[in-house]
Structure 1
Amino acid sequence: MNAHQFLQILRARKKIILSILLATVLLTLGFSLLQPKTYKATASVLLNYKGVDPLTGLTMPGQLLPGYMATQIDIISSKNVAGRVVDTLHLAGSPAVLQQFQAATEGRGNVRDWLADLLLKKLEIVPSRESSVVEISFKGADPGFAAAVVNAFADQYQKVTVQLKTDPAKKASAYFNEQTKQLRDNLEAAQARLSKYQQEKGIVSLDNNRVDVELARLNDLSAQLVAAQAQAIEGNSRERAARGGASPDVTNNMMVQNLRVSLASAEAKLADTSSRYGRNHPQYQAARSEVDKLRSELNSAMSTVSSSVGGNAAVLRQREAELRAALAEQKAKVLELNRTRDELGPLLKELDSAQRAYDAASQRFSQTRIEAQSEQSDVSVLNPAVAPTEPSGPRVLLNTLVAFLIGTVLGVGVAFLLELFNRPVRSASDMKDVLGIPVLGTIEWQRAPGPSRLRALAPRRLQRLN
């Protein structure tokens, strides 16, 4: 089919096409005029949420997080929010609404859920592509009611977002409260066991410096014992030498040396006197008495010095014994401290572990309690809805234009359908297509003036085609 044939079909079927077009436009226009007017109220809400990227840890706007905007739209259009709107506007208590519910559902179901479904069907949510603003729209016959519904949805959406944050925090707060009580009991029990052990062992301080002090004292006693042992050995040697008479202590004693000098002088005097006088001479007797006296004093002095050396050795031996006993006592004390510290270590670790667990749980309890009491929302109403003054529907002009296009397409389609079932010959090309033989010529007819139609048909021109 060429363009000429297409135009011939349109010209031949123009009445049918125009009739269908006119009928479609008139029906659409009448339907649009009979439809009740609808009003569309719109409110804008701003999402201020800033999340944390799990990979980079950076703070990101909520709209950049995967699925965030879709989640918020699902929350707004949820049955929970719609049910809250029904409760806020007190729609379920209206007698007219109850009557409509009975007529529509025959009493089956819940009027609150039925109203929530009706509101959601007329609700429209459009997120912005370039910002965090979401538009909430509602269509209704009453402009004031439409604005009230939209504002109620925005308000309840704010409250639901707060509830979605605070409910888990409240559950966590209750959990950590119970954990804190239990951990406090564990901490008190660990503290009681530690205190009981301290009382049993007489431990006043838990400072580890005490062990270091006792170890230093043990080392000092050990050093003193070594020195005392050396002194005792030396004292014993000097005592044995003093008993043998060849002790340097006796020989080097000043008194002994003086007495020996005096004795030597007295013996020399006695020898001189004995050479000049007889034994019975008074001078000899006096010199003899002086020598005996000095020898007795020398022996007494040497005995005293020897006794002094022996006493000094005994003192050194006693000091060695005392230091040895003190060292043994100090060693036992250090061993007892080490054993006590080893037994005290698990108790201290248990107490420290219980303290850290209690502190962590107490901190989490305080944090979750603050979060549970928070009423701050990440959603702000940017533009509340106002009652529209102009209806948003029906759109008569748009519906008419659409009906014109549909009527045109429908009319042309019907015309071609009729041509398919009954195709007449309107041109030489149609004759050629139908008969499959070449056309020699065409005769054009025109209407001639006259009363009779047969006389009006007369050949106007004969045209040869070959």
Structure 2
Amino acid sequence: MSGAAGGSVERGGSFVGSWLGLVRRRWRVGLLVFVLVAGGAAAVTLLSRPIYRAEARLRLGEPPPMGGVSPATGGLFALMRMGGDPFANDLELMSSRSVAEAVVLDAALAVQVDAPRGWHRDSLLSSLSATRETGRARFDVEWLADGRVRVRRTAPTDSLVGDVAPGDTLSFGGMSVAFRPWREGMPRRVRIRTLPFGEAVRRTRGKVAIARARREANVVDISFNHWDPGLTRAVVAAVVDRFVELRLAVHRRESGETVDSLRRVALSTERELAEAEEALEALQRRARLIAPDVQGEAFIERYSEVAAELEVTRVERAGIAELLENVATARDPMQAWAGLAAFPRFLENPTVGELLGRLAALQTQRADLAWRRAAESRALAVLDEQIESIDASLRALAEAYASALERAERELSARIAEMDAELLGMPRELIELARRQRQIRILSEILVLTEQRLRQEELRQALTFSNVQVIDPPALRYRPVWPRPKLGLAIAVLLGCAFAALGMVIGERADRGLRSARQVRDATGVPVVAVALAGPGGLTFAAEEALAVLAAARAAAGGSVTALTLAAADEAELAMEAARALSAALAAEEAARRGAELGAPPVRTAPVMDRFSGAVAAVAEGAPVMLVVRHGRTTRDAATRAAALLREAGGALAGAVMVCPRARDVGEVWS
């Protein structure tokens, strides 16, 4: 843990040290960049025109209900917000091109007046308006000595527009202007520039800021920045007025369209309902269906009665037929006609009862006379005639009743058949009746809802009002939003520091000169063994530096050396000066030792090793070669090329000697 902490401290110290070294080396560049950037930023801040901001705050009420047939919208469509967020719709309406175009026309934003600082549009012009026909042009305005105002077009062509008296309106370039009279302190010349209408609209839409105050509040903030305070407030006021006007017009148009559509729907539904009622009436007349449930019960009851009556008729008819057959074969008429008593109709008929009674009495009398008198007796013959007469009467009655029963059976059968056919067609007619009744019910509901919605829309159309409330009317802030001197100067200082650091880094990266022993080792692969100082009297080596060169040469040769070669990478004179200084330093050291020999070899120079011939000359004697580089001037590429050429020539560098122009550069060499 302590080792890791120690490593972090070392890395931090190395980072800080590298930056301090960078500052020491490049402080001039950094100071120059700081002065330029900070001074420029401060000048821009302090000399720029004041920028004013006008603001307004609106509260947007809930919009009127959406048009449609249903008086209330809910369910899945309300959950899905098919109509969109009302507040978002109002924001889009506020930032629409229609509002921007109206604002550009109201505030004449396609016209810009360039005047000295402190002079604005309303201080120079008494009135200004522009049309959609403005183009990209430039006009120079001059107040003449006689009080008139001269306007000249300078771009895209040069031409005189004309002279006009102050207060009079002059129309040119798609605008109409009335100038104020010249007064003391007022500039004599100003410039008016115009933009194409579409370009002015595009710029205005980008400059007008519209934002929701808070997410949960239906409050919107409108702001606009410009250097002309009067124009700034006029733009915000125009945005508010035009938005309210457009919103009201959209709502009225939507309400009018809804009313028209609802009226058409109501008329169409009313016609369809009348046709459906006529069709239902015709169906009821044809099918004779008024109350299907009651009529169905009565029909079933009648059907049962007719069917029962038919069965009874069939039974009676069969009984009468059997009775007639028995009478035809019976020997005793009284016994045969006694079966008539089983039929209720005959039993209820007093005539039939009387005939049967007389027949029974005659049969009794004949039986009494038959055993006392002969068969040819006149009394028996009279009784037989009477019995035959009654039998014929009963037979006629029975046959007539049988015929009536047959006719009744046919009629009842036909009636049953008709009722069966009517019963078979009844479901189809009932279904058709139910369908038509359902259609009438649906159309009636639609008509009622449509008329209700129509009354609501007509009422809303008659009482339409704008539910936009101006919380904060358009007004300027109490001071310009820019420039802000304290903030501007702080930003200028920060920018100056940042660009100064960046300039020092870029200068360090762009500088290819060798400045430290590490850079020399990276470029040549050998260390810096000594440092020489370049003073007014030439190069000088300290005694210990000269001895270090000698030690490095012996180490490279593996013992004593007979000669030492100094070669430069890009300066021939530098190697010669270094050789003279090194020889002098070694000689002085020998003298200081009072005759004790150092074994210092002679120092010679080689040509500049910027080509292969120089490298060959450096290794020709077989002596160790020292590369001489100048601090900050010898480039890394030159040193790398010299070491590579020496290796290609069969030699190798024994070390490097760095020449520093100032004593303080020595610390940078070993940093």
Which SS does the other structure have where 1:384 is aligned? Answer: strand
Q: Deviations over 1:45-74 (max 9, x none)?
A: 5686899xxxx9496698xx9999876654
In the alignment, structure 1 residue 400 sits paired with structure 2 residue 498: no
Q: In 2, are the aligned partners of 1:32 and 1:394 still within 8 Å (CA)?
A: yes
Give 1:223's aligned residue: 308
Give 2:629's aligned residue: none
Give 2:335's aligned residue: 248
Find the aligned partners of 1:434 and 1:219 in 2 and give their Cα distance: 127
Q: Deviations over 1:58-105 (max 9, x none)?
A: 96698xx99998766544322123235557779899942439985755
Find the aligned partners of 1:340 and 1:429 in 2 and give their Cα distance: 115
Greater relative contact order (Cα < 8 A, sep 6+): 1
The Cα shift of 1:154 comes to 5.4
Which SS does the other structure have where 2:130 is aligned? Answer: helix
Q: In 2, are the aligned partners of 1:37 and 1:141 still within 8 Å (CA)?
A: yes
The Cα shift of 1:234 comes to 1.6
Question: Aligned pair in 2 of structure 1 residues 68, 260: CA closer, same or farther (>3 Å)?
Answer: closer
In the alignment, structure 1 residue 27 sits paired with structure 2 residue 27: no
Question: Aligned pair in 2 of structure 1 residues 169, 101: CA closer, same or farther (>3 Å)?
Answer: closer
| The one of 112, 121, 128 aligned to 2:206 | 121
Question: Aligned pair in 2 of structure 1 residues 88, 332: CA closer, same or farther (>3 Å)?
Answer: farther
Q: Superposition pairs for residues 34-183 of structure 1, below 5 Å?
A: 34=47, 35-43=49-57, 45=59, 57=76, 73-85=91-103, 95-98=127-130, 102=134, 104=136, 107=173, 116-127=201-212, 131=216, 134-141=220-227, 146=232, 149-150=235-236, 153=239, 157=243, 171=257, 174-175=260-261, 177-178=263-264, 181-182=267-268
Give 1:438's aligned residue: 528
Q: Superposition pairs for residues 379-458 of structure 1, below 5 Å?
A: 383-385=471-473, 387=475, 388-415=477-504, 437-440=527-530
The Cα shift of 1:321 comes to 0.3
In the alignment, structure 1 residue 18 sits paired with structure 2 residue 31: yes
TM-score for both structures, normalised by structure 2: 0.47
Give 1:237's aligned residue: 322
The Cα shift of 1:41 comes to 1.5
Question: Aligned pair in 2 of structure 1 residues 103, 32: CA closer, same or farther (>3 Å)?
Answer: farther
Question: Aligned pair in 2 of structure 1 residues 251, 135: CA closer, same or farther (>3 Å)?
Answer: closer
Whichever structure has more helix as a proportion of its residues is 1
TM-score for both structures, normalised by structure 1: 0.63
Whichever structure has more strand as a proportion of its residues is 2
Find the aligned partners of 2:378 and 2:413 in 1 and give their Cα distance: 52
Which SS does the other structure have where 2:321 is aligned? Answer: helix
Question: Aligned pair in 2 of structure 1 residues 409, 340: CA closer, same or farther (>3 Å)?
Answer: closer
In the alignment, structure 1 residue 320 sits paired with structure 2 residue 409: no
Which SS does the other structure have where 2:483 is aligned? Answer: coil
The Cα shift of 1:318 comes to 1.0
Q: Which moved more, 1:189-198 or 1:116-125?
A: 189-198
Q: Which runs of 5+ in 2 are unaligned?
A: 1-13, 67-74, 112-125, 139-172, 175-193, 340-355, 549-671
Find the aligned partners of 2:215 and 2:232 in 1 and give their Cα distance: 27
Q: In 2, are the aligned partners of 1:221 and 1:323 still within 8 Å (CA)?
A: no
- Partner amino acid for 1:409? A
The Cα shift of 1:364 comes to 5.5
Identity level (%): 17
Find the aligned partners of 1:267 and 1:193 in 2 and give their Cα distance: 83
Find the aligned partners of 1:295 and 1:180 in 2 and give their Cα distance: 98
The Cα shift of 1:119 comes to 3.2
Give 1:304's aligned residue: 390
Question: Aligned pair in 2 of structure 1 residues 410, 332: CA closer, same or farther (>3 Å)?
Answer: closer
The Cα shift of 1:341 comes to 9.0
- Root-mean-square deviation (Å): 5.8
Find the aligned partners of 1:191 and 1:355 in 2 and give their Cα distance: 10
Question: Aligned pair in 2 of structure 1 residues 101, 464: CA closer, same or farther (>3 Å)?
Answer: farther
Q: Deviations over 1:94-137 (max 9, x none)?
A: 94243998575575899875654443232123346853555433
Which SS does the other structure have where 2:486 is aligned? Answer: helix
Find the aligned partners of 1:232 and 1:31 in 2 and give their Cα distance: 130
Find the aligned partners of 1:32 and 1:100 in 2 and give their Cα distance: 36
Q: In 2, are the aligned partners of 1:138 and 1:150 still within 8 Å (CA)?
A: yes
Q: Deviations over 1:344-394 (max 9, x none)?
A: 987985786587468647746864785695788998658435522233222
Find the aligned partners of 2:110 and 2:381 in 1 and give their Cα distance: 140
Find the aligned partners of 2:58 and 2:387 in 1 and give their Cα distance: 123
Question: Aligned pair in 2 of structure 1 residues 36, 7: CA closer, same or farther (>3 Å)?
Answer: same
Question: Aligned pair in 2 of structure 1 residues 439, 402: CA closer, same or farther (>3 Å)?
Answer: farther
Q: Which runs of 5+ in 1 are unaligned?
A: 275-290, 446-453
Q: Deviations over 1:411-454 (max 9, x none)?
A: 34445556667788888878988996535467799xxxxxxxx8
